[in-house]
Amino acid sequence: MKRIILFGAPGSGKGTQAEKIENEFGYMKISTGDLIRDEVSKKSDIGNKIEDTIKSGNLISDEIIIDIVKKKINGKDITSGYIMDGFPRTLFQAEALSKVEVEKEIPIFLKVNDDMVVKRITSRLFCKTCGKIYNKKFNPPKKRCVCDNCGEVLSERTDDSEEIIKKRIHVYRKETMPVIEFYKQKGNLREIDAVGEINDIYSVVRDIIK
């Protein structure tokens, strides 16, 4: 069993690369952002509780997110591996994850600069039905605002405004950079320059996880 962990700032391309890994290798994508946005759109008890936190750009509590990840890992038959997109994001989460044993763990850090983050996020679109990620400028759908996969009308995320992006970058630096440092200390973190064409970045990712 392999565990790929994708680290990086908001907009670094974690979701985009996770989707490609899932399609090629069949590893299950566990995107905590997608999972909690599902809870919000279902208007579940958890969803109602966390909606404002997501909109504000803050992290939701470790307890809630760990519970959601546990359910996802235990609820499905994972055969060969899984990809963590957006988890762990705090040292507490990293410690919880390290208790789940795997044969091989591959943490990958997608490095981007802040200007690029803002450019990418302010032009992002996504499909609420299948989760596919697009970009108005860099990765547009074939038909304007319509999902290539399922034909749904594409949406914008409620936390993708320029003001909230700044907050998310701040939270990332404060809470998640120490986690990246933790994996660096472990000695197996792979760092990638994630500015460039999506497919060029994927070919580097692919070589690492093959």
> How many chain residues interact with Mg ion (CB under 5 A)?
2
**61: number of CA atoms within 13 Å, CB side?**
7
In contact, 39 and 144? CB cutoff 8 Å: no
CB of 188 to ligand AP5, least distance (A): 20
Work out what residue 120 binds among Mg ion, ligand AP5, none; the CB cut-off runs from 5 to 8 Å by kind: ligand AP5
Work out what residue 97 binds among Mg ion, ligand AP5, none; the CB cut-off runs from 5 to 8 Å by kind: none
What residues line the site for ligand AP5 (CB under 6 A)? 8, 10-16, 32-33, 36, 53-54, 57-60, 65, 86-87, 89, 93, 120-121, 124, 133-135, 138-139, 159, 168, 196, 198, 201
Q: Which of 15, 81, 88, 107 binds Mg ion (CB under 5 A)?
A: 15
**124 belongs to the catalytic site:** yes
Phi (first) and psi of residue 61, to 5 degrees: -70, 150
Tell me the two tokens of residue 204: 């580097």
Which residues ranging from 136 to 165 are in contact with Mg ion (CB under 5 A)?
none
Which residues ranging from 31 to 70 are in contact with Mg ion (CB under 5 A)?
33
CB of 154 to ligand AP5, least distance (A): 10
Tell me the two tokens of residue 98: 């390290």
In contact, 20 and 3? CB cutoff 8 Å: no
In contact, 10 and 85? CB cutoff 8 Å: no
**206 belongs to the catalytic site:** no
Residue 121 CB coordination number (10 Å): 22
Rounded alpha-carbon distances, angstroms, from residue 158 to 18, 37, 54, 63, 165: 21, 10, 8, 23, 11
Residue 169 CB coordination number (10 Å): 18
Q: Which is nearer to Mg ion, 1 or 38 (CB)?
A: 38
CB of 76 to ligand AP5, least distance (A): 19
CB of 151 to ligand AP5, least distance (A): 19
The residues facing 23 across adjacent strands are none
Q: Which is nearer to Mg ion, 33 or 107 (CB)?
A: 33
- Tracing tokens 């307890």 back to the chain, one arrives at 63
**157 belongs to the catalytic site:** yes
**89 belongs to the catalytic site:** yes
Catalytic center residues: 14, 89, 124, 157, 168
Q: Which residues contribute to the site for Mg ion (CB under 5 A)?
A: 15, 33
